[in-house]
Structure 1
Amino acid sequence: MTLNLILSFLLWHLLLLAAGPSSPTPTHAAAGQWTFLNPNIGISAMHMQLLNNDRVVIYDRTDFGRSNISLPNGKCRIDPNDTALTTDCTAHSVEYDVATNSIRPLMVLTDVWCSSGALMSDGRLIQTGGFNDGDRVVRVYRPCTGCDWEEIKSGLTQRRWYATNHILPDGRQIVIGGRRQFNYEFYPKIAGATTAYNLPFLVQTNDPKIENNLYPFVFLNVDGNLFIFANNRAILFDYLKDVVVKTYPEIPGGDPRTYPSTGSSVLLPLKNLQGLAMEAEVLVCGGAPKGSYTSAVNGNFVGALNTCGRIKITDPSPQWVMETMPLARVMGDMVLLPTGDVLIINGGSAGTAGWEYGRNPVFQPVIYRPNSPIGSRFEVQNPTTIPRMYHSTAILLRDGRVLIGGSNPHITYNFVGVLFPTELSLEAFSPSYLDSTVVDLRPKIVLPVSQTKLRYGQRIAIRFTVIVGVMAPGSSILAPAGYYLLFVVHQDIPSEGIWVQIQ
């Protein structure tokens, strides 16, 4: 028996009553299965986050006008700064219950358009910045029954629009960049620290006309420093000393990969090299060639990039290894699966991110298998029928499915007479490891039970048909304190995950 144990960290993508939960309708295929979950959750899923109670917080910008779901009990949001409605009795955030396929409207007060966020060690979602009256706001959502958004009006020192958050080993979050913000700050603040810190790398990667370095890709390296990728370059950054400790080579070809030339990125599963060292690799896929945004503004939609770059960020002299995807893609999402494979999904094959600037939806997801030989790592999957363009999202669920939502390339909600109507539906994509033909091979974790608390370096007995001992991560540098999904993988078939809290 081959056994792998994977810990997946889940950070960090309306008339008046939404349609109730529908009976899921599966569509079978050889490579993956699509299930239509709900035709109308009331809002377009611009951002989604799974919490450790198996609820998904979903939110959209507040200044689209009325949504398709009412706030409960006659509540209304009164906002004199809103550019669409100063009095709005509809919701722009909902909570999705995975188990019952149902939704609950939530009240978010300030504009979360192109905001950012991450989970704290206690399971709270910290959501920061946005547009207009939301650009300095910190919002908190707790995974508890009946809870709603809490908002801290001046929680940030700088305006943050298109920034990136990452949890740190000490439990704080770092908030990096944003439009016209070449700096970073922390949340929560250390006593007396009320300023932002300059990050010249964000100036160096900025094109003033296009700002091609927004939503930078940020990952915690195994040495405790941060890998930061913006535009077409990357650094290793010591945020404790405020110094760049390594500059990585420019990605071959030099084309931008961050917003609005929006590619996607993931930190691949860490590798323990026979106890000698930990190896970390980053994968960056898709995006749009130089000049694509300006071309799209002028009505010329340039073909998206069809390449991925992979780099061992722990190497003394790291170099990019380039690979060709079977499908070009911009505005795609990447999801790390329980098997350690990567799902690349959503987006288009021409144009860029931005209102009306994307074309040619890519209906087929692709699975990337990082441990297969180069040249045979990509596998095209069964297509959906729904375009998922600008502002679409994808997240992993505990049962191994991937939840898909969103797509609204318009500055308001628009359902008729447009290339890509505003999309209010939710779907789920089930990789082939959930096929009925392999259900008998699927392991089941008996012990530990879900919500088990673990200590760093603790030996864990994992029981299914056998008992296997494994070690929890050794430090908060390898895995910051928080809730993780634990899966057992046997012959490339994962169990359902259980929640564990490392503390």
Structure 2
Amino acid sequence: MMPFFLYASFLAVSFAYDIPTQPLKKGLDGQFELVGNTLISAQQMFLGTTDKVYIVDKVENNPSRVKSHPAWAEEYTLSSNTHRAMDAITNTFCAGGNVLGNGTWLNVGGNQAVTYGGVQAETQIGGGPYDDPDGRKSMLDPCDNGHCDWTLSSFQADQRWYPTLETLEDGTMIIIGGCRWGGYVNDAQQNNPTYEFFPTRGKPVISPHLTRTLPTNLYPLTWLLPSGRLLLQSNWETILLDYKNGTETLLDAMPDAVRTYPASAGTVMLPLTPANNWTATILFCGGSNISTWQWTDPAFVIVGQRASQSCVNITPDVSPNYEHDDPLPEGRSMANFILLPDGTVFCTNGARTGTAGYGYNPWAVGMSYADDPHFTPLAYNASAAPGTRWSSQGFSSTKIPRMYHSSALLLPDGAVMIAGSNPNADYSVADLKYPTEYRMEFFYPAYYTHRRPQPRGIPSQLSYGGSSFTIAFTLDDLGGEITNIAKTKAVLIRPGFSTHSMNMGQRYVELESTYSTSDDNSAGFLRVSQVPPNPSIIAPGPALFFVVVNNIPSIGVQVMIGSGQLGTQKVLPVEPLPAPSLRNIGISI
């Protein structure tokens, strides 16, 4: 039993820290809100700190300028709703990105230097109207501690356009696939069927999978699994990659549709929780059922192809087989899947017909290879009974088409930031059905306006295994009902690097916990284990920590998982948790 003086002392110390309270925005649950314009079109987005979102565009003639040329990167400050143009140095068109275990974000690859309309520039070392050196071998990283700019790494990646990045269990990065010159789909003359590492581990390694899966093997869909292997999915083929030994194991062929770019299905690793023993299941929904030969057939009208409704999932550390899940209510390509703190998946953006991409084709809508955009979002609940997992109940619709080059990102207050859409070769706004889009929206999930928990005791750094810690709640934090402490969970979310219908590195991990209350039931306590003692469950680096009470999340705070350094992470024994109780259980603090 916790003595009253110890309980009071604990609260006094905890209250001395800065406690996240209510969201700054005044949005309405289930609604979109137009919150202003970005400086550039949001082809790529990631959350650098709890107050800074970084946005990256392809090189084009954006009205905002920096260093005497158009800007194609910006820093957006959430608290003040202000924007600052940044110099991204090289052409970042169709790069990949993710965050290292020390908190540094990487933006890798891109396009050759271009001039107006995306036409190849005469020089690849800068100059001209855009001053955009070749980005195909570049690696950029921004600082994330205030007013800062991008820097060009001395490391040069192999020439890559459309690469995928995944953070590994030691906090380093694997850089996978892509092509050398770009285009709608890949081909044998420019395919780069290799993977390499940052920091470097030597020459790139050839992947037979990426050699076999032309032409739709760009942005290969990739996840680090708890087993330490990687799931790779391209075209119709799926493998497990053991990158340490350089071996690949074939799994089931993908059913129903192509999911990789430019079919661009919605994809996500579902929440890893104590209830499923942190076992990874990956969900794929939508995309396009287009045969391999049709992607390069000039007579095939891409924009008229209906997007797939199919949803399938696979649990690759358990079984090589795909299983069908509840289908989408309507077919959708270019969907963004965003993990919310309550454990649901928010689906936004996309189109009913066509695919990602643009070009000068007589059948294109302007230049867009997609048409008939979706305006109403969806929510997926893996815990719901089969047949009831998809819903749009209570959701408003946006009025803004969000198709090719749109992005979506979870914010610390639990809202979703949505921006971008530009199926055009350059900045284009006049007389087009789908112009370059600068309007930025927030979507407010069903929990948004509720009184948020204000937990005390969240640490700033978490270890793999080790001693548990206690988070304290007032009765108000628990919605006025002490039994809600039994419906409380601690959750880590990496929002990821959003581009081309993917959020590279996005992950949701619930920590093991138990609960108790004060003697007078005026306060509740959640005893929380550290991160499971396996860095492959969630790689080291920054993440948002949410406490969720009866499906209402706190404001997320940024924590560092692991040592904050690159290298093998220390794994500690797990401290056993006490049994849960709603009354009269002592807590060690």
Pick the TM interval, shorter chain: 0.7 to 0.9
Q: Is the 8 A contact 2:102 2:171 kept in 1?
A: no
Give the structure 2 partner of residue 231 of structure 1. Answer: 235
- Give 1:415-454 correspondences, 5 Å limit: 415-434=429-448, 436=449, 439-440=450-451, 442-448=452-458, 452-454=460-462
Give the structure 2 partner of residue 219 of structure 1. Answer: 223
Cα separation, 2, equivalents of 1:231 and 1:110: 29
Pair 1:366 & 2:378 matched:
yes
Paired letter, 2:137: R
Q: How many percent identity over aligned positions?
A: 33
Deviation at 1:91, TM superposition (A): 1.4
Cα separation, 2, equivalents of 1:48 and 1:100: 18
Deviation at 1:311, TM superposition (A): 1.5
Q: Is the 8 A contact 1:233 1:250 kept in 2?
A: yes
Cα separation, 2, equivalents of 1:296 and 1:461: 63
CA RMSD of aligned residues (A): 1.9
The CA deviation string for residues 206-233 of structure 1, in whole angstroms up to 9 with x for no partner, is 1xxxx21211111111111111111122
Pair 1:183 & 2:194 matched:
yes
Give the structure 2 partner of residue 409 of structure 1. Answer: 423
Gaps spanning 5+ residues in structure 1: where? 1-22, 77-87
Q: Is the 8 A contact 1:273 1:279 kept in 2?
A: no
Cα separation, 2, equivalents of 1:296 and 1:482: 47
Please give the secondary structure, in 1, of the residue aligned with 2:65.
coil
Deviation at 1:317, TM superposition (A): 4.8
Cα separation, 1, equivalents of 2:145 and 2:274: 36
Q: Is the 8 A contact 2:252 2:320 kept in 1?
A: no
List 4+ stretches of structure 1 deviating above 6 A: none
Please give the secondary structure, in 1, of the residue aligned with 2:64.
coil
Paired letter, 2:33: T
Paired letter, 1:282: I
Looking at CA atoms only, which structure, 1 or 2, has the larger radius of gyration? 2
Paired letter, 1:359: D
Give the structure 2 partner of residue 84 of structure 1. Answer: none
- Give 1:471-490 correspondences, 5 Å limit: 471-473=529-531, 474-490=533-549
Pair 1:52 & 2:49 matched:
yes
Give the structure 1 partner of residue 115 of structure 2. Answer: none
> Which one of 462, 470, 494 corresponds to residue 471 of structure 2?
462
Pair 1:68 & 2:97 matched:
no
Give the structure 2 partner of residue 202 of structure 1. Answer: 210
Pair 1:32 & 2:36 matched:
no
> Which one of 244, 250, 253 corresponds to residue 253 of structure 2?
250
Deviation at 1:272, TM superposition (A): 3.3
TM-score, normalisation: structure 1: 0.84
Q: Is the 8 A contact 1:52 1:123 kept in 2?
A: no
Pair 1:150 & 2:151 matched:
yes
Q: 1:150 to 1:300 in 2, by over 3 A?
A: closer
Q: 1:60 to 1:127 in 2, by over 3 A?
A: same
Cα separation, 1, equivalents of 2:426 and 2:540: 39
The CA deviation string for residues 446-483 of structure 1, in whole angstroms up to 9 with x for no partner, is 2226xx11221131222223221111222312221111
Paired letter, 1:118: N
Give the structure 2 partner of residue 114 of structure 1. Answer: 94
Pair 1:333 & 2:344 matched:
no
Give the structure 2 partner of residue 17 of structure 1. Answer: none
Q: 1:351 to 1:300 in 2, by over 3 A?
A: closer
Cα separation, 2, equivalents of 1:162 and 1:227: 18
Cα separation, 2, equivalents of 1:236 and 1:99: 42
> Which one of 251, 263, 280 corresponds to residue 261 of structure 1?
263
Cα separation, 2, equivalents of 1:372 and 1:95: 38
Pair 1:140 & 2:141 matched:
yes
Q: Is the 8 A contact 1:251 1:320 kept in 2?
A: no
Paired letter, 1:393: S
Cα separation, 2, equivalents of 1:167 and 1:497: 21
Cα separation, 1, equivalents of 2:272 and 2:169: 16
Deviation at 1:33, TM superposition (A): 1.2
Give the structure 1 partner of residue 39 of structure 2. Answer: 42
Paired letter, 1:417: D
Q: 1:320 to 1:153 in 2, by over 3 A?
A: same
Cα separation, 2, equivalents of 1:335 and 1:231: 23
Cα separation, 1, equivalents of 2:86 and 2:195: 30
Deviation at 1:59, TM superposition (A): 0.8
Cα separation, 2, equivalents of 1:234 and 1:488: 35
The CA deviation string for residues 6-26 of structure 1, in whole angstroms up to 9 with x for no partner, is xxxxxxxxxxxxxxxxx9785
Deviation at 1:109, TM superposition (A): 1.3
Cα separation, 1, equivalents of 2:473 and 2:310: 40
Q: Is the 8 A contact 2:285 2:327 kept in 1?
A: no
Give the structure 1 partner of residue 185 of structure 2. Answer: none
Q: Is the 8 A contact 2:34 2:442 kept in 1?
A: yes
Cα separation, 1, equivalents of 2:275 and 2:388: 24
Cα separation, 2, equivalents of 1:139 and 1:188: 13
Deviation at 1:273, TM superposition (A): 5.2
Pair 1:379 & 2:381 matched:
no
Deviation at 1:52, TM superposition (A): 2.5
Paired letter, 2:251: Y
Q: Is the 8 A contact 2:326 2:390 kept in 1?
A: no
Pair 1:357 & 2:369 matched:
yes
Q: 1:484 to 1:25 in 2, by over 3 A?
A: closer
Paired letter, 1:36: L
Pair 1:286 & 2:286 matched:
yes
Paired letter, 1:267: M
Deviation at 1:402, TM superposition (A): 0.3
Paired letter, 1:263: A
Cα separation, 2, equivalents of 1:334 and 1:340: 12
Q: Is the 8 A contact 2:216 2:262 kept in 1?
A: yes
Give the structure 2 partner of residue 395 of structure 1. Answer: 409
Cα separation, 2, equivalents of 1:318 and 1:272: 23
The CA deviation string for residues 43-98 of structure 1, in whole angstroms up to 9 with x for no partner, is 10000000134201101012x2x312122xxx23xxxxxxxxxxx2x311100001
Segment drifting more, 215-224 vs 283-292: 283-292
TM-score, normalisation: structure 2: 0.72
Q: 1:391 to 1:302 in 2, by over 3 A?
A: same
Paired letter, 2:348: I
